[in-house]
Amino acid sequence: MLLNPLLTATLVLPLLSLAKQHPLPLSTDYASSFEAAQENAPHIFNALHSSMRQWGSSLKHNGLSFFPASIPADTYLYHGTHDNKPETGMEWLAFEIEHAEAFARAWGPPPKRPGKPPPGDGPRRNELRDEERIANHFGPPENSGKPGYLHIYQTTRKLSKILYIDGMSAGKTKLGTLDSTDMVLRNKTGNDPPWGEYERAEELCELGTKWDIEGFIRLEAGFELILCNFTNGLEFKSARRRPKQDPNQFEYMRAVAARYQGITAGRVEVDYSSMVSAFFYPINLTNPNPKRAELPRLVSSEVGGVRHIQEDLEIVLESSQRFSNERIDWQGVVDMIVTRYSDRLQYMVLETTTQEEIQATVSTLLSLYVDFDDPKIPLANTICTYHYLNSTQPTTSADHLIHSAIATVSEKICSTLFEVRRLIEEESPAVETAKLEMKDLIAYLDWSTWLECGKCAYDEVCYVAVWPWGTIEDHFHPSCKNSSLDFGRDRQSYWGSY
Ligand SMILES: *[C@@H]1O[C@H](CO)[C@@H](O)[C@H](O)[C@H]1NC(C)=O
Ligand SMILES: *[C@@H]1O[C@H](CO)[C@@H](O)[C@H](O)[C@H]1NC(C)=O
Ligand SMILES: *[C@@H]1O[C@H](CO)[C@@H](O)[C@H](O)[C@H]1NC(C)=O
Ligand SMILES: *[C@@H]1O[C@H](CO)[C@@H](O)[C@H](O)[C@H]1NC(C)=O
Ligand SMILES: *[C@@H]1O[C@H](CO)[C@@H](O)[C@H](O)[C@H]1NC(C)=O
């Protein structure tokens, strides 16, 4: 459904620019399209809003988008392990100290699991990595290790060939957090066991060799980097022995919460103009679990569609503008829209909000777009729709698709509010109808801002389910919690649920 002529006007551009980027013949059945971008507009909008933010990425944990990214020179990155020898090959790095501290232990033999061989020299490392993670996050006390070392590394140059996999992409779950990695990057079915982290990372780095990617940014309780070659672009600074006592998990959660709104200090720069998202494609993103319809998945997608995403991603990485300054700060555009409407929409639908209050708020929001000498609402609606978009100059295929998605969302906001304005200014104002219209809009937008806790007390953190922690309640109703919180098994029920 096309919403207005301006949306149609941009329709032909991306296909042309994609054709220009792509010399090879591609089956067009599953090619990215404006129709798909408009259909999935709120998902695209929210993916941009949540990009490199722990908050929205925890709630909308099935990310289906990829972004080329870079990490500036001189950035500190942290690594926790059992010994003090500098890493040389592929390994994990955390952006937060507390995250790496959790791994800075000497692990005992992994707990026996049926069908698993005892750890030997070869696969041992492989298993240790998984067991480390299990032990670290899910660990029964007997599995707790002796203190290890916290390594600090510093980038010696800009790591400019990084691929950011959005959502809770390091969450080892069957909910769909691994769909984009395992299905698009690893050719898996999406129904494989979520573990096998070492193998996953090795395969990603093999692909990296082909696609010219030096590392992968993912998210769990904290952002992390799988870096494919520690001796290239990284300097080992120190490795210091950890104390006897285990790191404090409440303080780890505090560190996680400190990145809800972003990674800070420009430590990761994202090339939004080279976004490759499953939401751009005419494929079936329905979650086969009807209880989680709000979470998109790739498991119902047509194989040809997934292939198409894969091929486009390869092309984008080859020809991406990841080194140019011309990319558009799409997250900034989305932020401008969210900050203007987010609180006000919720305010207007409160039971206690009166007709006069809605009128005043809507007037604040819309009067800019109306010429009161000649109030033409369709024109005002168009001006409203493009207000935050007209400062952008789309160039890449992704730019055009994103532009179209944001315009779709923006048009929905503007047209709903103009309708509310009409309802509220009628002779007998239809306040309840107006509120229902806005509630529909709120459901359509599904912004993660509406689940924020607000400022918690100093002895509390705003607690949302972040893999591997969180109950079902924590996911659907995040709230401020103090350090009496139990971080044991009971706090992990969400991710193994459904
Ligand atoms: C996935 O499949 C494609 C097409 O068959 C192939 O080119 C690619 O190398 C495969 N990737 C991996 C990681 O196996
Ligand atoms: C890692 O990078 C170093 C320095 O550029 C290089 O000598 C080495 O061959 C690389 N290792 C691998 C496995 O590519
Ligand atoms: C999309 O996938 C869902 C879940 O697997 C399935 O029920 C539905 O029929 C599919 N839709 C189409 C159009 O194939
Ligand atoms: C915004 O962009 C649209 C579509 O490109 C254009 O038609 C319109 O005139 C612009 N509006 C303003 C206020 O600049
Ligand atoms: C922490 O929160 C719990 C549950 O709200 C409360 O019962 C307890 O008194 C609080 N503890 C501290 C130390 O404030």
Q: Is the pLDDT of residue 57 over 50?
A: yes
* Nearest ligand 1 atom, CA 187: 1
Full 3-state SS string of 293-329 = CCCCCCCCCCHHHHHHHHHHHHHHHHHCCCCCCCCCC
* Nearest ligand 4 atom, CA 387: 13
Domain borders along the chain are 5-52+279-448, 70-262
* Nearest ligand 5 atom, CA 481: 2
Q: Hey, CA dihedral for 318, 323, 324, 328, is it positive or negative?
A: positive
pLDDT of residue 191: 85
- 484 Cβ closer than 6 Å to some ligand 5 atom: yes
Between CA 402 and CA 41 the distance in angstroms is 8
- 288 Cβ closer than 6 Å to some ligand 3 atom: yes
Q: Hey, CA dihedral for 141, 145, 149, 151, is it positive or negative?
A: negative
Lowest mean pLDDT across 109-118, 185-194, 350-359: 109-118
Report the separation in Å between the CA atom of 232 and the middle of ligand 2, taken as the mean of its atom positions.
6
Report the separation in Å between the CA atom of 162 and the middle of ligand 2, taken as the mean of its atom positions.
16
Q: What is the pLDDT of residues 207-237, one digit of tens each?
A: 999 999 999 999 999 999 999 999 999 999 9
Q: Which residue has the higher pLDDT, 144 or 463?
A: 463
Question: What is the crossing angle of helices 431-445 and 330-349, to 10°?
Answer: 150
User: Which one of 10, 386, 404, 411 would you pick to mutate in the ligand 4 pocket, going by the greatest count of ligand atoms within 8 A of its CB?
Assistant: 386
What residues pair up with 460 in beta bridges, in sequence order? 482
| Structure tokens that stand for 455 in this block | 């400022």
Q: Is the pLDDT of residue 54 over 90?
A: yes
Question: Letter for the amino acid at 386?
Answer: Y
Q: Is the pLDDT of residue 116 over 60?
A: no
pLDDT band with cut points at 50, 70 and 90 for residue 319: confident
Between CA 61 and CA 64 the distance in angstroms is 9
What residues pair up with 462 in beta bridges, in sequence order? 480
Q: Where are the beta strands (DSSP E) in 133-271?
A: 146-147, 149-155, 159-165, 215-220, 222-227, 234-241, 269-270
> What percent of the chain has a predicted confidence (pLDDT) above 90?
77
User: Which one of 390, 391, 414 would you pick to mutate in the ligand 4 pocket, going by the greatest count of ligand atoms within 8 A of its CB?
Assistant: 390
Between CA 135 and CA 271 the distance in angstroms is 35
pLDDT of residue 188: 95
pLDDT of residue 144: 56
Mean predicted lDDT score pLDDT of the chain: 88
pLDDT band with cut points at 50, 70 and 90 for residue 107: low
- 207 Cβ closer than 6 Å to some ligand 1 atom: yes
* Nearest ligand 2 atom, CA 209: 14
User: Which one of 40, 300, 302 would you pick to mutate in the ligand 3 pocket, going by the greatest count of ligand atoms within 8 A of its CB?
Assistant: 300
